Chain A
């Protein structure tokens, strides 16, 4: 395949940045999208140019490190996948592909397509945990039976990989889907109920302080989420928040 790539290049957070055109050939349908960028970068390096910076690590769809806004969609045109799982067979010979970073005020650009998502970590520091001592004097795991459907729902919420596609897809740059996934996981489990009130208040406050926008129920986050995290979690978080606020 021969492709034209229009890639966002930005030297650092202070640089203005711009779209730059690249022509690339010899792309096989079996390649992943990131492998296609590897090919481009190899050419750039051997020519002595600065390769395009992009985030990636596990390349099997679970670490959440890869990002990229491809032709106007977080993680590209395929559903339910991260960019590392997107394959070039989803594109046609001669296509022009736009590649941009995940844009949001709370995700400043580090370089090119790499953004700083540490705001997500800071929200977790505010309450994304159960306050239990880690040195091993906890009760037997089966001393606390948990309904299977609650355990399954908690698991579904816990599969969030923290990639930030929800924020990038949202017209308000809201982080509600991400935050609500963690709030839900713990709200559904007895271990997490004890601190549920403080947790939801603290995490929502941290989210607001980071500069994320509000949810207006557009639902783009759910559509673009590579792990299928459900909007139900936002509803659950809102209920938790409301009841915590009036206590």
Chain B
């Protein structure tokens, strides 16, 4: 099947407006006869559910958590971009569009990104109208701050809890519709298969996680909004339950999966301490505004620190290597996430890591504390040579800016980051790859849509900060509600779809046989045992830097691990009840397939771009080398029964408005 991205004709700035002017509409009376299933209720799914219900459709929303308020969007810290130009510093829709395309290393679709920049403006208006308490200045107007990769202040925020407040906004909009009876909410439910009738997505099979009951749900369209698949690495910043299952089941039923190897590694996470660890905690990127990143210059100092014989504060200034400032003088500590992450790995691989495992670098606030302290001393006419006074004043300023993050670090690591530099290391954070969608956000399965992080569309090979929340809400509040109407207009006479159709029976049997297999398997190891093994393969061979040999090995090892998993996994308890082990088994089964496709995608892409770094394709200075001539396309994979046999389809990326240039941060 040829990939038709359905991008409208015409100049970039009017594509979306013209498109909206010409799509088919559904009469309000007819909307009442149309059902839409939405799987996942984070920023994308929650905003879509609320808006489609507002428009008059009957919405059935599903989430695996006990309440939509707990979706992992809630954990986003930094902020949300919008081209409002409230700061008057020259921001515009075009600039947001440009920064996002460039930040994505020219591997995103121009038309989608421009639309995202356009609707970003409405998102802020919408959220404020809902009572989302975004940060304000004393004059009562909204405050902005700047973020990495841009030169303007366009990031709106709510302290370090922007995701929480935006999610609660979408949740409140959902609550209003649930109260009105327009959304039927299925908490603690998980989608385990997609049902296709006559080529169209017409329903899902879900498991009630409390009773274990397998349920059939029909609708005229199905929307997947289940977030990213970073947990394929076992350790990531994702919530423990975040999984790929719904997206993967859609893939197995015909939806192409695009660019799985594009994964963002975030540079500032709290490092791993041991094998017991279940999850990684992110420290907001905003810390890099004031923190300086370094490791010791001398190998013997690094070793002494690892052995606990030396403290970082004992290393003299001239014996510290501020490697980002050294390598990238013009961007320094504020280089984009992919660049900062690789640079940290390079130093640690060379033996300069500073924690017991050798996988950590310092993020040091001493200079900032002193700088702010002196400034405060001058402002208040105090003695700027009094070191203690300067320290206290400076600490206060840093505390006001980042206090909650410093406290979080202290709780986890048990070390005071004001007194000794924080230790950080890169961790898996966000997945730019996902289910392939056209301009309408429809997958290659008719009537099956995919929005937010679960799709591939807007961030290219790398994602800039404060853009994930933007895409989730843009898709849910402002894009899908238009594009899905165009499709559903043909369904006004379809009527209710019966769940007795043979396709539902087949899908249900498919789910049941999978569950039966796990429950009756007399294996020896827990699900986590296999998941951790998968994570190690992924991190070591498909992680921040990849090469041909490692990727080939990874594909073989994952395939072998998958076989072992089906033979030797042990799931206790009973299926017809609340059973968290069974939930995990069903999710890890899908990660074991996705992981192999991920490696296959990374293997075929013979270039380095954004979050994908192939060691064979780097400059003499270790910088990524992109190959626009041969790889300027979206890699969309078609399922053929085994990840290894997936077939590649290419969607060429055409840049008509932005010239492709090498990203340089020197």
Task: Give chain A's interface residues, CB within 8 Å of chain B.
Answer: 11-12, 28-32, 34-35, 38-39, 41-42, 44-46, 48-51, 53, 55-65, 78, 81, 85, 87, 89, 110-111, 114, 116-118, 120-121, 124-136, 138-142, 144-148, 151-152, 154-155, 158-159, 161-162, 185-186, 189, 191-192
A153 to B524, CA, bound (A): 53
The answer to whether A191 and B411 have CB atoms under 8 Å apart is no
A61 to B405, CA, bound (A): 12
The answer to whether B281 and A60 have CB atoms under 8 Å apart is yes
Q: Which residues of B contact A63 (CB under 8 A)?
A: 65, 70-72, 74-75, 239
- From B71, B84, B126, B411, A87 is in contact (CB under 8 Å) with B411
The answer to whether A128 and B133 have CB atoms under 8 Å apart is no
**Shortest distance between the CB of B497 and any CB in chain A (Å):** 26
Interface segment, B195-203, B270-278, B364-372?
B270-278
Q: Which residues of A contact B74 (CB under 8 A)?
A: 58, 62-63
The answer to whether B86 and A126 have CB atoms under 8 Å apart is no
**Shortest distance between the CB of B49 and any CB in chain A (Å):** 10
Interface segment, B157-165, B249-257, B648-656?
B157-165
User: CB-defined interface of B121-157 with A at 8 Å, one 1/0 digit per residue?
Assistant: 0101111111101111111111000000000000000
Task: Give chain B's interface residues, CB within 8 Å of chain A.
Answer: 47, 50-51, 54-55, 65-67, 69-72, 74-75, 84, 86, 119, 122, 124-131, 133-142, 158-159, 161, 164-165, 168, 171-173, 175-176, 178-179, 185, 187, 210, 237, 239-241, 273-274, 276-279, 281-282, 408, 411-412, 414, 477-478, 481, 524-529, 570-573, 577-578, 580-581
- From B69, B277, B481, B577, A35 is in contact (CB under 8 Å) with B277
**Shortest distance between the CB of B60 and any CB in chain A (Å):** 16
Q: Which residues of B contact A61 (CB under 8 A)?
A: 408
A144 to B55, CA, bound (A): 26
- From B71, B142, B570, A46 is in contact (CB under 8 Å) with B570
- From B67, B282, B577, B581, A45 is in contact (CB under 8 Å) with B581
The answer to whether A32 and B278 have CB atoms under 8 Å apart is yes
Q: Which residues of B contact A29 (CB under 8 A)?
A: 414
The answer to whether A155 and B125 have CB atoms under 8 Å apart is no
Q: Which residues of A contact B168 (CB under 8 A)?
A: 158
The answer to whether A46 and B414 have CB atoms under 8 Å apart is no
The answer to whether B176 and A42 have CB atoms under 8 Å apart is no
A38-B528, A136-B478, A155-B158 known; A28+B274 contact, CB < 8 A: yes
Per CB-CB distance, the 10 closest pairs between chain A and chain B, nearest first, are A145-B140, A129-B172, A138-B129, A141-B128, A155-B133, A125-B179, A45-B526, A59-B279, A129-B176, A151-B136
A128 to B142, CA, bound (A): 23
Q: Which residues of A contact B210 (CB under 8 A)?
A: 110
- From B67, B137, B276, A38 is in contact (CB under 8 Å) with B276
A142 to B138, CA, bound (A): 13
A28 to B573, CA, bound (A): 28
- From B65, B240, B570, A59 is in contact (CB under 8 Å) with B240
The answer to whether A145 and B139 have CB atoms under 8 Å apart is yes
**Shortest distance between the CB of A64 and any CB in chain B (Å):** 6
- From A58, A121, A126, B187 is in contact (CB under 8 Å) with A121
Nearest to A27 among chain B residues (CB) is: B276
**Shortest distance between the CB of A132 and any CB in chain B (Å):** 5
Q: Which residues of B contact A132 (CB under 8 A)?
A: 126, 129-130, 173
- From B72, B125, B281, B414, A57 is in contact (CB under 8 Å) with B72
- From A48, A89, A121, A141, B175 is in contact (CB under 8 Å) with A121
**Shortest distance between the CB of A113 and any CB in chain B (Å):** 11
Q: Which residues of A contact B571 (CB under 8 A)?
A: 45
**Shortest distance between the CB of B25 and any CB in chain A (Å):** 13
Nearest to B185 among chain A residues (CB) is: A121
A132-B130, A147-B140 known; A64+B50 contact, CB < 8 A: no
Nearest to A115 among chain B residues (CB) is: B66
**Shortest distance between the CB of A38 and any CB in chain B (Å):** 6
**Inter-chain contact count A-B, CB under 8 Å?**
228
A151 to B157, CA, bound (A): 12
A202 to B65, CA, bound (A): 26
A152 to B249, CA, bound (A): 43
- From B70, B136, B176, B412, A85 is in contact (CB under 8 Å) with B412
A57-B70, A59-B279 known; A136+B126 contact, CB < 8 A: yes
Nearest to B173 among chain A residues (CB) is: A134
- From A87, A125, A130, B129 is in contact (CB under 8 Å) with A130
The answer to whether B279 and A60 have CB atoms under 8 Å apart is yes
A57-B65, A58-B239, A185-B133 known; A45+B477 contact, CB < 8 A: no
- From B55, B67, B133, B414, A117 is in contact (CB under 8 Å) with B67
The answer to whether A30 and B273 have CB atoms under 8 Å apart is yes
A63 to B282, CA, bound (A): 14
The answer to whether A141 and B278 have CB atoms under 8 Å apart is no
- From B125, B239, B481, B577, A139 is in contact (CB under 8 Å) with B125
Q: Which residues of B contact A162 (CB under 8 A)?
A: 67, 69-70
16 contacts between A and B (CB under 8 A): A28-B276, A42-B529, A53-B578, A58-B70, A87-B412, A118-B67, A121-B185, A125-B178, A134-B50, A136-B125, A136-B126, A141-B124, A147-B140, A148-B140, A151-B136, A158-B158
Nearest to B138 among chain A residues (CB) is: A148
Q: Which residues of B contact A78 (CB under 8 A)?
A: 411
- From A118, A124, A127, A158, B133 is in contact (CB under 8 Å) with A158
The answer to whether A56 and B86 have CB atoms under 8 Å apart is no
A155 to B158, CA, bound (A): 8
Interface centre among B69, B75, B122, B131 (most CB of A within 10 A): B131
A49 to B571, CA, bound (A): 10
Q: Which residues of B contact A34 (CB under 8 A)?
A: 278
**Shortest distance between the CB of B575 and any CB in chain A (Å):** 13
Interface centre among A126, A144, A158 (most CB of B within 10 A): A158
A63 to B477, CA, bound (A): 22
Q: Which residues of A contact B171 (CB under 8 A)?
A: 124
The answer to whether B414 and A87 have CB atoms under 8 Å apart is yes
- From B129, B570, B577, A111 is in contact (CB under 8 Å) with B577
**Shortest distance between the CB of A26 and any CB in chain B (Å):** 9
A63 to B173, CA, bound (A): 18
The answer to whether A134 and B175 have CB atoms under 8 Å apart is no
Q: Which residues of A contact B139 (CB under 8 A)?
A: 145
The answer to whether B130 and A191 have CB atoms under 8 Å apart is yes
Q: Which residues of A contact B178 (CB under 8 A)?
A: 121, 125
A95 to B158, CA, bound (A): 40
A117 to B581, CA, bound (A): 21
Q: Which residues of B contact A148 (CB under 8 A)?
A: 136-138, 140
The answer to whether A125 and B70 have CB atoms under 8 Å apart is no
A74 to B480, CA, bound (A): 41
Q: Which residues of B contact A60 (CB under 8 A)?
A: 75, 237, 279, 281-282, 408
The answer to whether A124 and B172 have CB atoms under 8 Å apart is yes
A61-B408, A136-B122 known; A151+B526 contact, CB < 8 A: no
